[in-house]
Amino acid sequence: MYNTDLDKNQANFQSLSPLSMLKRAAEVYPAVEAQVYGEIRRTWLQTYQRACAMTDALKGRGIELGDTISLVAHNGPELFESHYAVPMSGAVLNAINTRLDAKTIAFIFDHAETKVVFVDREFSETVASALTLCQVNPLVVDIDDPSFEGGRLIGELTYEQLIDEGDQDSEWHMPADEWQAISLNYTSGTTGNPKGVVYHHRGAYLTAMSMAFSWDMPKYPKFLTVVPMFHCNGWCFPWTTALMAGTNIFIRHLKPEVLLKLIKQEQVTHFGGAPIVLNMLNNANEKDKTGITHQVKVMTAGAAPPAAVIEAMEKLGFDVTHVYGLTETYGACVICEWQPNLWDHLPKSEQAALKSRQGVRSPAQEDHSVMDAESMRPVPKNGETIGEICLRGNMVMKGYLKNPSATADAFAGGWFRTGDLAVWHADGYMEIKDRAKDIIISGGENISSIEIESVLYSHPAVFEAAVVARPDEKWGETPCAFVSLKPDAQATEVELIEYCRDNMARFKVPKHVVFGSLPKTATGKIQKFVLRKMVPV
């Protein structure tokens, strides 16, 4: 009887979409600042009006439902506004990693069948080369940021000129189906061409809400956009800030002195970043770190942050929340939920070790498990048995664009298979031990590269560390550490190996240490696939 004459209709059902968050912010908080970038300060009403004008202009240029609009741009107003304007037009937002080479960008243009590309002058030469290599012929729109010196204009018109073509009072419509694609994000493609991860409106909406709940984010946060918006749509925070009537403070180039200045100047309350960002701040000039007198909350994800890095941030007065996720899960979908009644009394070093675990599923994620990869049964919660992290729920992608076999493999067994290896503790918290491809098997023993890295990070001279396998005739493979030192610090290979010997089981100790700068992705992750090619013979 509960299904009789009780159908969905316009009065009682609306597909979920984060686009509704912008409209509400404009109506309820019209005068609250939404964007801060240099001299630019725009309210939520102004942001909404510009998004409406851009939507109208895109439609006037022939953009239709399901078309792809790509952007190669830094974290700035244009990329932020596009998170609303593009899907409001029915198109799919494709924010591209700005560090990619022309050949890879050309592949993405073709694979995504890009109809329009917005390009910042900083990346004009690379995009110009990509356009000569791809088969598609998109409309090119320049982002002409006056604060950047260099590059050139390569498009038919500028972003501001395109907005001027549209009507800020134009009508737009929410998606008819919340399963409709909202964005397309490409994986790093370290083992071949990148895969296109497709997000839907429902997942983006729920993730935007989940991020606020997970972080206990209050109304009117001052949010510094450190995480690139091309990375999982900035962990969906461009939509969360509309929900919370927050202010987005943009930073073009991630320099510690600039970041710290903005935190003080704009009274930043929240920002996210990879552990490398935290480490960069820990090692910033002391004069730049002084003067922060308000509470700053930091969300970190990427490679597991060593406890020493978290502890150092806490000493600076920053409250660190550790999360875990992948491109395929809209960013962070697992959080190390703090348990004040159980952990507040513990020494700071123990608290940092607890925070370095990945944790439990976030509010909008349906389920998570650590499973035996063969049997697909949960491993014991003993903190020792290694299994694969598996996830399912609304915070998992639709699948990979035009790649049914990869999608099927990813969802084998009814779960999303992450490829990350972890243990499950008795309290239900997960702790990553390694990527499946990064685990080091030496003489039949599994060695976690993350464990070795954590020990190295605790050495006072070490700035960054990464450990990969080195082929070995006797043991099969042994750990090889790549290390960069802090400015003016000194340490030898023998010293670091001895330090590891004193702080871990001897079979885990790296046999070689290589000094130098470490290759990284645009989001600050150390590129271990590059380091594997650099191991000494």
pLDDT of res. 301: 83
**How many angstroms separate the CA atoms of 36 and 42, rounded?**
7
- The pLDDT, as a whole number, for residue 440 is 85
Query: Domain map of the chain by residue range?
Result: 43-170+179-200, 254-435, 440-532
Tell me the average confidence (pLDDT) per consecutive run of 10 residues in the chain, 537 residues long: 94 96 98 97 98 98 98 97 98 93 93 98 97 98 94 97 97 96 85 85 97 94 96 96 98 92 96 86 90 92 72 87 92 93 92 89 94 93 94 96 96 93 94 77 75 90 92 83 93 94 86 92 76 88
Alpha-carbon distances, residue 385 vs 233, 374, 388, 426 (angstroms): 34, 14, 10, 12
Rounded to whole angstroms, what are the CA distances from 149 to 105, 142, 226, 535? 23, 14, 21, 39
Q: Which tokens go with 508? A: 């885990």
Q: CATH homologous superfamily of domain 254-435?
A: ANL, N-terminal domain (3.40.50.12780)
How far, in whole angstroms, is CA 94 from its chain's centroid? 15
Which pLDDT score, from 0 to 100, does residue 436 have? 66
pLDDT for the residue numbered 304 = 61
> How many C-beta atoms surround the C-beta of residue 246 within 10 A?
26
The one-letter amino acid at 19: L
CATH superfamily entry for domain 440-532: ANL, C-terminal domain (3.30.300.30)
Confidence (pLDDT) at 189: 59
Element containing residue 104 per DSSP (H, E)? helix 102-112
Closest CA to 183 of 162, 210, 201: 201
Q: Quick one: which of 367, 342, 363 has its CA closest to 354?
A: 342
Please state whether 239 falls in left (phi above 0), alpha (psi between -120 and 50) or beta: alpha
What is the number of H-type helices and E-type strands within the chain? 19, 26
What is residue 522's predicted lDDT score, i.e. its pLDDT? Answer: 60
Strands (E) in 436-502, as ranges, are: 440-442, 445-447, 462-472, 476-485
Strands 331-335 and 33-37, sheet pairing: unpaired
| CA–CA gap between residue 198 and residue 206 (Å, rounded) | 15
Identify the DSSP state of 516.
S
Residues sharing a CB contact under 8 Å with residue 79, sequence separation 6 or more, in sequence order: 71, 73, 95, 118, 229, 230
What pTM does this model have?
A: 0.85
- C-alpha 386, offset from chain centre: 25
Tokens in use for 193?
């061409």
Q: What pLDDT does 384 receive?
A: 92
3-state secondary structure of 505: coil
Q: Give the model's pLDDT for residue 278.
A: 87
Intrachain domains 43-170+179-200 and 440-532 with the same fold: no
State the CATH class of domain 43-170+179-200: alpha beta
Q: Which helix (H) or strand (E) holds 200?
A: strand 196-200
CA distances (Å), 392 to each of 333, 389, 404, in order? Answer: 10, 10, 18
Q: What is the pLDDT of residue 155?
A: 97
69-102: string of b/e by CB count within 10 Å (b at 16+)?
A: bbbbbbbbbbbbbbbbbbbbbbbbbbbbbbebeb
